[in-house]
Amino acid sequence: MKHLRVLIIVGTRPEAIKMAPVITALERRDEPVEARLAVTGQHTTLVEQVLQVFDISPDYDLDIMKEGQSLYGVVHRALEGLQSVVQDFQPDLLLVQGDTATVFVGSLVGFFEKIKVGHVEAGLRTDDKGAPWPEEVFRRMTDVVADYHFAPTHQARQALLKENISGSNVHVTGNTVVDALLEISERNTQVENE
């Protein structure tokens, strides 16, 4: 049986926190899944700290940030780096979370390479493309490209349906930050009981 190959893409600390439970869940599945983690390095030190807490190591570290780099530079370097990762790993699915440049670029690479994209925390909206800037546009464009939408709330699901996203591709999952909190709480309890 062919393994499902999943590439999880993370760039910032909030993404790392919210994707850690997803990575853990993929590792625990009975079905064959080969999951790899690519970090772009938007928040290098902060992401490293979070991943250490969850005992997760990245498979790819793109280290895209340079001093004084513009948003254009971030997007350019992330595009080039993720293109190389995708061509190396050849995933069946890309998973992104949130609304950052990393999320947008990850979904765009999936689109360019004809790879399915799953968006965790899909459907959040402010209804003002300038606030927050540029995040509101990043998350909207990601949802246009995504094949699977993991909405944290029923309100987020409704926003996606209003934008003509097929309901069969929208799944209300709750917010994975809750899962991250529960996982850390469980680990701390185990340490205290030892």
Q: For residue 37, how far is the Cα from the chain centroid?
A: 10
Say yes or no to pLDDT of 190 above 70: no
Say which residues have a Cβ less than 8 Å from residue 64's Cβ, sequence separation at least 6.
40, 41, 42, 74, 77, 78, 81
Kindly tell me if the per-residue pLDDT of 22 is higher than 80.
Answer: yes
User: Tell me: domain 4-193, CATH 3.40.50.2000, correct?
Assistant: yes
What pTM does this model have?
Answer: 0.92
108-153 residue pLDDT tens: 999 999 999 999 999 999 999 999 999 999 999 999 999 999 999 9
Calculate helix-pair angle for 13-28, 176-193, nearest 10 degrees: 70
The pLDDT tens digits for 61-85 are 998 888 888 999 999 999 999 999 9
Average pLDDT over residues 169-194: 82
Average pLDDT, the chain: 93
